[in-house]
A and B are shown apart, each in its own frame.
Chain A
Amino acid sequence: MSGDWLETGRSVLEWFLVVLVGTGVIPIISTLTLFVAIPFHAFRNHYREAAPYMPRVAVVIPAWNEGVVIGATIDRLIAMDYPDWALRVYVVDDASTDQTPDVVRERAARYPGRVFHLRREQGGQGKAHTINHGLGVILQDEWMQALLITDADVIFLPDSLRKMTRHLADPKIGAVSAYIREGSPKKNYLMRFIGIEYVLAQAASRRAQNVFGAQACLAGGAQLHSRENLMDLGGRIDTSSLAEDTVMTFETQLAGREVVFDPYAIVLAEEPGSVTALWKQRLRWARGNVQVTSRYSRVWFHPRRAHDLGGFVFGLSWFSIMLLPAIMIASSIGLLGLFFLGSNLAVIAFEGLWGLATVTYFYSIILSLQLDGMIARQAWLEALLFPGILSILVMITAFFPGLFEVMLPQLIGVHATQAFVTGWTIFAYSWIALSMFFAWLVKLIDGTRAGRVLSPLLTYIIGYGPILCAVTIDSYIKQARHAEARWDKTEKVGRVTA
């Protein structure tokens, strides 16, 4: 009798562990859905409704100690292929203590009536407050028909703005987002990883979001709003969140207007060159996303006629990213549990989960590399090693069973011992969770002398993806502890010159 109970208990535990492993399928299916949708952008895009349209655009640039980059940014904006009479640049100087005021005043004198210097004597409240200071001035008259919010380091290509404004010819569109490309001419390893990440997250994923009719986030450094949209949202930027760009994106769509991404409107931005700087930037973004998740709790998975934010695919995609670290840990626990239980399902679950991940990874990375030829040429290695060398080895283990345990040892004339096979199996099953711990170690050593050599090496071995997941865990912890939510500016040095 007790043997029956034991058998039933074991069976229940076994299936519970299978379910834990199965949670790992959710983000893979979500990614696959997005990337399978991308080719449909060939037909489901906004180009039919777009039309030549060049409204009067006010560009607002929040700037705090941006003296190194702001001059070139203004010059590039003024030099765009856009009518002189229809473009004004407002730099909102957030009490800078460097040469920013001098540089902006000099540009205001050089381009009279086109560049304006707005000074906040008391600054430090963050980007949204700074933008709102500019909006207070811009909205005093009726001149502005569209508002472009950008950053002090973002370089616009000559055709970028007009490729954004053409979508506003359709009154249904409330806001347009450009494609932000990592623009440093000499990229270090991390900038190349970021370049690939932006191809995946913007050029690829935002096309899919166009197809599904709901955009998750307007690019903070290149978002264009119609005046009507801005006024409907209260004529100001949300200041209650660290992710004001995501909030604006959601509010626009909740108000019944659409948000469009144009992959041919390309802008160049300077991105962090060290893991420490990346962590700081992404922690702010991740904490903002945690705030957005709870703020719009009534939106998720509640389909509405007025907008597509409540759609299943959109919700699946959002929560797959938000819960990815927890899912990775659950999958590892499930696999290790099955292994130590001696279940035959361990191998099936491992090969199924990682096999699907391998297929999804190759399909999405090969498709993405074709979406931005320039980044593909500069960062093809980082694209291939995006999940990390160790994750790729685990993928190979799952996708080509027997290769490491039997075939390769035979090829070099050795025999893989049982201890090696067991050790490698335990490592492969646990790596998905362990990778985030090692990613955190990369951050710890990044600031040290050894980090100069070890950071790049470990990033290739452990992977760039796990670093982003580790940041997400850090954001949960900081939010749970109600840690101070500061606006930490990412340092810019003026690398991007286009």
Chain B
Amino acid sequence: MTDEYTRSFLREELERDRRHERRLLWKALFALAVVTVLLVVRAVFFL
């Protein structure tokens, strides 16, 4: 019973970490958005 509980807990933990990794997409998009803003500022005011 305890062993089964542990396995189920570990499986949930694994699944949670796997889901967290999907947030990388949004994080990369945010970084890209900041860079895009910089490029727009450059294009508008400095070129």
Residues of A within 8 A of B (CB): 36, 38-39, 41-42, 45, 47-48, 50-52, 159, 162-163, 166, 207, 262, 264, 358-359, 362-364, 366-367, 370-371, 399-403
Contact = CB atoms under 8 A, between A and B. Distances in A.
B45 to A, nearest CB: 7
B13 to A, nearest CB: 7
A50 B13 CA distance: 11
Nearest to A207: B24
Nearest to A83: B6
Give the interface centre of B15, B17, B22, B46 by most chain A CB atoms within 10 Å: B17
Interface in B1-46: 6-7, 10-11, 13-15, 17-18, 20-25, 27-32, 34-35, 38-39, 41-42, 45-46
A402 B32 CA distance: 25
Contacts of B42: 399-400
A400 B46 contact: yes
B19 to A, nearest CB: 9
B32 A42 contact: no
B7 A52 contact: yes
22 contacts: A38-B28, A39-B24, A39-B27, A42-B21, A42-B24, A45-B21, A47-B14, A47-B15, A47-B18, A48-B18, A51-B14, A52-B10, A159-B13, A163-B13, A163-B17, A166-B14, A359-B35, A362-B35, A367-B28, A371-B27, A399-B38, A402-B46
B31 to A, nearest CB: 4
Give the one of B6, B24, B27, B47 with max A CB within 10 A: B24
A51 B18 CA distance: 12
Given A366-B34, A367-B31, A400-B42, A45 B18 contact: yes
Contacts of A163: 13, 17
